[in-house]
Structure 1
Amino acid sequence: MRIFADENMPLVQQFFSDLGLVTLFDGRNVTAEQLSEAEVLLVRSVTQVDQVLLQTNSDLTFVGTATIGLEHIDQSYLAKRQIPFTNAPGCNAQSVVEYVLSSLWFLAERYQWQLQQKTIGVVGVGNIGSRLAKSLKLLGAKVLVCDPLRQQQEPSFPGPDFEAVDFNSLCQQVDIISFHTPLQRDGDFATEHLLNAKTLAMLKPDCAIINAARGGIIDNKALLAEAEALAEQGKKRPLVLDVWEDEPDILMALVPYADIASAHIAGHSIEGKARGTEMLYLALCQQLGLQPKHSLADFLASPAIEKVQITPSFGVPDVQNLAKLLYDVSRDDATFRHSLTDKGFDWIRKNYPARREFSSLQLSGTAVPNWLLQLGFSQEQ
């Protein structure tokens, strides 16, 4: 079986080499000619899979993207050709949540906030947004959620623990807004430029914006215009941008106005990326009627920091220090600002350093609180 995979997909050789010959390609620049003989195609979000890319291929029997998002996949074209397709929903949800939490702790320190006194709006309550909302509540913040599609489809949404509001109402009420919705360009639930000049004006002047979803959800030019206008008044809106419009050719003038700027790496933990590869492997095995031989645990290296003992005095204010043992978002911001001009957006993504999720850290002691386990940490067995 001829398997073609994005060169930045972790552990792809380890998972798939038993199933066929694995050929790696540059996902951003791959051509139709390079994929003409592929029977299995494994991509990430940088590859547009459509008729143009597959025009010379007549052998394809499986397409998988190791991502949550689907906007880079022409599903109707694949369906027309009867090519089975799968994605990896939730593969990097915990990784993105940890990015957002690290960003919130960074902003809280910079602006001297108490997060427990803030109202945080989560826009898009799928795998990532729902997990983030629960984590924020565990940390004592008030959370509002907005997901009109789920609200229409699920009578019980959002459940007793959260209050759901429409987007305009959320904008007017929150102190922090975090986006976790897919990019939908049209229709009743369109999200492209959901945050634009009009809706930006609805936010409190000091409301923080976090976007770790898709760049096009925010009108970057409108955001820049507002940032420049605020700067003339000696003011600044707290801003965290992991995703940008027109990646990798982003609006460079916007970067200086961000407190945290990074190269679409919120989901790039070792577990988050490799979990996507594993999900595609399991899907292909199922299609082929084969029993899977491998699991993610077979390939993960031991973490640099494996165990920490918790004492009875551990409380919510201590979580930030515990999380920093594994990840500090300011590292990614520093790399982004230092390397973007000379080395480029994609170089930063490709050379992203190892980062482990909370689950890699085992907590020991007689008083490990359950809420820490709910945040994603593990307990020593």
Structure 2
Amino acid sequence: MKIVITDLDHASADVEREVAATAGAELVLTQGTDPAEVVANAAGADGLLVQYAAITAEVLDALPSVRAVGRYGVGVETVDVDAATARGVAVCNVPDYGTEAVSDHAVALALTVGRGIGTLDRNLRAGVTDLTPALPVHQFAGRIFGVLGYGAIGRATARKAAGVGFEVIVTDATLAPGTATPEGYEVVGQGELLRRAQVLSVHVPLVPSTRHLLDAAALATMRPDAIVVNTSRGGVVDTDALVAALAEGRILGAGLDVFETEPLPADHPLTRFDRVVLTPHAAFYSEESYAELKRRTIGNVVDVLAGRTPRNIVNPGVLRGG
């Protein structure tokens, strides 16, 4: 079997080479995102591994031997899934590879903002040892940590937040307010979550119904000591409304890893607040999650080509013949 990596900005493809060698597959690393480049580079391929290249109906028609496409990551927006399905091509992703890394990052942002560590660090480097600029600082025990979206990452975040002493409350479209999660966390409605949370950690996908879910009206219902943490998608939060809430002191701070515009401009208004911690869409990364992503992306494609059901497939009907 021949597997072609269409494009990859990772430091190496050693993990993919290891998996391919074990499976007896030929692995070819190319770098091209233009459709013509992809077609030329992937001639004769049985499977494709894709990072940014668009795999369209035209590309698939020009590569009739391709039987599986593996996407590095959760989303498959670069792949025309309908076209692939119509041609019997399996499309695979890795929807849950970053659960531990992202939840680690969400809690780390909450703790960093909550303890004023960013302010204390910057001031100490400048020779200022006064604690006052970082106040208020609260202990975690007894503080309310709201989890907005209780998928795999939300569950992991809740577990870790509870582990350092927070009282966790949860909102999710699949859970009824007034009940409890299997782990024992109180389930509340979204309005109550916003009103009560002293940390609000966002873990919902970006779809039309969640775009600007945290808008000016939602932020206006939050506590003045609240911290907003977002490691999901930038568009879930209305950036202008968040800046206004911070500037007017209507919320305490924010820890943000994702933004509506990425990369975040160096002169963006968010960079002006001491009680805001910013990271460059890095929550997904750990040495472990990075290797897992690579291993599972090629592993899914190898499984399809070997006649096995992969761990993750977006269009499973192609394996059932319909």
TM bucket (normalised to shorter chain) is 0.7 to 0.9
Structure 1 equivalent of residue 271 of structure 2: 255
The equivalent of 2:243 in structure 1 is: 224
1:164 paired with 2:192, answer no
* Closer, same or farther: CA 43–200 of 1 in aligned 2, 3 Å: farther
Residue 67 (1) aligns with residue 73 (2): yes
Higher relative contact order (CA 8 A, sep 6+): 2
Counterparts in 2 of 1:59-98, with a 5 A limit? Answer: 59=64, 60-70=66-76, 73-98=79-104
The yes-or-no answer on 1:51 pairing with 2:56 is yes
Displacement, 1:33? 1.8
CA-CA distance at 1:136 after TM superposition: 1.7
The Cα offsets for residues 231-290 of structure 1, whole Å up to 9 and x where unpaired, read as xxxx76311110111323658232333621111110111111211111122212221227
Match of 1:202 among 212, 221, 231: 221
- Aligned partner letter, 2:230: N
**Number of the residue aligned with 1:136:** 161
Cα distance change of structure 1 residues 73 and 55 upon mapping to structure 2, 3 Å threshold: closer
- Structure 1 residues without counterparts, runs of 5 or longer: 292-381
Q: 5+ residue gaps in structure 2?
A: 117-135, 309-322
Distance, in Å, in 2 between the alignment partners of 1:70 and 1:102 is: 28
**TM-score (normalised: structure 1):** 0.64
Alpha carbons of structure 1 residues 277 and 62: separation in structure 2 relative to 1, 3 Å: same
- Contact 1:5/1:12, CA 8 A, preserved across alignment: no
The 1:136–1:229 alpha-carbon spacing in structure 2 relative to 1, beyond 3 Å, is closer
Secondary structure of 1:226's counterpart equals: helix
Larger Rg: 2
Secondary structure, counterpart of 1:82 in structure 2: coil
Residue 20 of structure 2 corresponds to residue 16 of structure 1:
yes
RMSD: 2.8
Kindly indicate whether the alpha-carbon contact (under 8 Å) linking 1:71 and 1:183 is maintained by their aligned counterparts in 2: no
Aligned residue in 2 for 1:4:
5
State whether residues 253 and 276 of structure 2, in contact with CA within 8 Å, keep that contact through their aligned partners in structure 1: yes
Pairwise CA distance, 1:36: 1.4
Identity %: 24
Per-residue deviation, residues 83-107 of structure 1 (Å, max 9, x unmatched)? 2111112211111121122223322
Structure 2 SS opposite 1:85: strand
CA distance in 1, matches of 2:25, 2:148: 40
When structure 1 is superposed on structure 2, of 211-220 and 282-291 the one drifting more is 282-291
Is 1:280 paired with 2:280? no
1:41 aligned residue (31, 48, 54)? 48
Q: Deviations over 1:115-161 (max 9, x none)?
A: 1121011111111111111122222211111110x327xxx972251
Which secondary structure state, in structure 1, belongs to the residue aligned with residue 260 of structure 2?
Answer: coil
Q: Aligned partners of 2:268, 2:73: CA distance in 1, in Å?
A: 26
The within-5 A match list for 1:326-337 is none
* Distance verdict in 2 for CA 1:249–1:238, change over 3 Å: closer
CA distance in 2, matches of 1:52, 1:248: 30
TM-superposed deviation, 1:194:
0.9
SS for the counterpart of 2:261 is coil
Letter of the 2:271 counterpart: V
Partner of 2:312: none
Q: Which residue of 2 aligns with 1:269?
A: 286
Alpha-carbon displacement from aligned partner over 1:13-55 (angstroms, at most 9, x marks no partner): 33336522322437xxx221221143433234xx374638847
Cα deviation code 1:306-350 (max 9, x no counterpart): xxxxxxxxxxxxxxxxxxxxxxxxxxxxxxxxxxxxxxxxxxxxx
Distance 1:176 1:249, change over 3 A: closer
2:140 alignment partner, one of 115, 121, 142? 115
Change (3 A) 1:236 1:199: closer
1:329 match? none
Q: How many residues align?
A: 274
How far apart are the structure 1 equivalents of 2:101 and 2:49? Answer: 21
Contact 1:35 1:57 in 2 (8 A): no
Question: Which whole-Å CA distance do the structure 2 matches of 1:254 and 1:48 have between them?
Answer: 32
Three-state SS of the structure 2 residue aligned to 1:25 is coil
* Structure 1 residues 285 and 58: CA distance shift in structure 2, 3 A: closer
